[in-house]
Amino acid sequence: MNTINPQKVIRNIVVYTFLLLFIFFSLLPLLWMLSTSVKPEILTREFPPKIIPRIVTLENYKYLFEGSLIPRYLFNSLLMGFTTILGVLFFGTLAGYGFSRYEFRGKSVLLVLMLASVMISGATIIVPLYLMFLRLKLINTHFSLFLVYVVQALPISTWLLKAHFDSLPKALDEAAMLDGCSRLKILYQIIIPESIPGIGAVSLYTLVLVWREFIMASTFITKNELKTLPVGVYQFFTELGIEWGKLGATVMMAILPMTILFIMFQRHFNPAEISSGVK
């Protein structure tokens, strides 16, 4: 019974061709950037263009680390990422616990309101936020970005954390309360250590969100040494757009850390969960 089913063969060919085409489409711009980033500057404008570099050099990367602000931008992006994660976890675990463990008036409305407020506000709050931050003297501070990023990541993080807390039995809380633990102690010493996968998913989601954000960062931050990586790349492109080799190296710096991290952890990532918070 080991006959080859022609229909199946055709289907496999179609599926693999489609997938390979798609991979080609996904990776082509990145491979081109990678190739340019290791070319000497003179060869980047070679015509016809060659994707396999004839001479490989690391001078562009050397320049980035020794003669540019890119390490600073990288540091700022990481700083924003980690502080935002801490902020999201602080507000998110409290709210997630409240929503998970209590029944109270307005609970379902508040849950929807949380998600809806960020969805509805969308891009429309950039200008009023700018004016608010201007009055509060928060323009050109990382704190303004911190506030915005925490709020952008908070609703879905709270929903996710609530779902994770829901999966832990309430008997856990009740037993601890009989032992005289306060609610906060229960949250921080029992519930959170039991929800590490949830905490991880929320952190990864928040990190990606902060890492790729551009418009708020470029609006609220104009001081060079405070800029995040996407803004730095954009500046590079508008100012030194002709130095392709260096631009390519910058682009690689802007994508590699997150790409590697994401590929490592992407099994835990489900966009359906993340966009609606529903498990």
Partner 1 sequence: MVNNCIRTLYKKYGKQIEPYMFISPAFMILGFITLFPMIYVVYLSLYKIDLINPDVYIGLKNYTDFFRPVSLQTVKVTILYLLGSLFFTMVPGFLLALALNQKIRFSAFFRSISIVPWTITAVVAGVCWRWILSPDIGFLSYYIEKIFSFRPDFLYNPNWALLLIIIVDSWRSLGYVAVFILAGLQGIDPSLLEAARVDGADYRKIFRYIMLPLLTPSILVLLILMSMRALNMVDVVLVVTGGGPMRLTETLALHMYKESMSYFNIGYSSAVAVILLIINLVLAVVYFRMLGEKGGQS
List binders of partner 1 among 63-82 (CB under 8 A).
Answer: none
Cβ 246 to partner 1 shortest distance, Å: 12
Nearest to 76 by CA among 249, 210, 220, 261: 210
List binders of partner 1 among 79-118 (CB under 8 A).
Answer: 90-92, 94-95, 97-99, 101-102, 104, 107, 110, 112, 114, 116-118
Omega of the bond leading into 48 within 30 degrees of 0 (cis) = yes
**Which of 244, 245, 246, 249 is the binder for partner 1 (CB under 8 A)?**
244
Q: By the 8 A CB rule, do 119 and 138 touch?
A: no
User: 45 or 62, CB closer to partner 1?
Assistant: 45
Interface region with partner 1, contact rule CB under 8 A, candidates 64-72, 173-181, 191-199, 249-257? 249-257
Interface region with partner 1, contact rule CB under 8 A, candidates 152-160, 163-171, 172-180, 188-196? 152-160
Please give the DSSP secondary-structure letter assigned to residue 38. T
Q: Does 180 bind partner 1 (CB under 8 A)?
A: no
**Which of 9, 22, 62, 196 is the binder for partner 1 (CB under 8 A)?**
22
Q: Does 213 bind partner 1 (CB under 8 A)?
A: yes
Q: Does 138 bind partner 1 (CB under 8 A)?
A: no
How far from 6 is each of 9, 150, 186, CA to CA, in Å?
A: 5, 54, 61
**Which of 70, 74, 154, 201 is the binder for partner 1 (CB under 8 A)?**
154
- Most distant CA pair in the chain: distance in Å? 78
Sign of CA dihedral 251, 253, 258, 260: positive
Q: Does 234 bind partner 1 (CB under 8 A)?
A: yes
Work out the burial of residue 43: count CB atoms within 10 Å of its CB; fewer than 13 is exposed, 13-18 middle, 19 or more buried.
middle
List binders of partner 1 among 44-63 (CB under 8 A).
Answer: 45, 47-49, 51
Q: Rounded to an integer, what distance in angstroms lies between the CA atom of residue 219 and that of residue 133? A: 11
Cβ 56 to partner 1 shortest distance, Å: 18
Please give the DSSP secondary-structure letter assigned to residue 179. T
Work out the burial of residue 80: count CB atoms within 10 Å of its CB; fewer than 13 is exposed, 13-18 middle, 19 or more buried.
buried
**Which of 9, 13, 28, 240 is the binder for partner 1 (CB under 8 A)?**
28
Q: Does 255 bind partner 1 (CB under 8 A)?
A: yes
Residues contacting partner 1: total by CB under 8 A = 93
H-run or E-run covering 83: helix 70-101
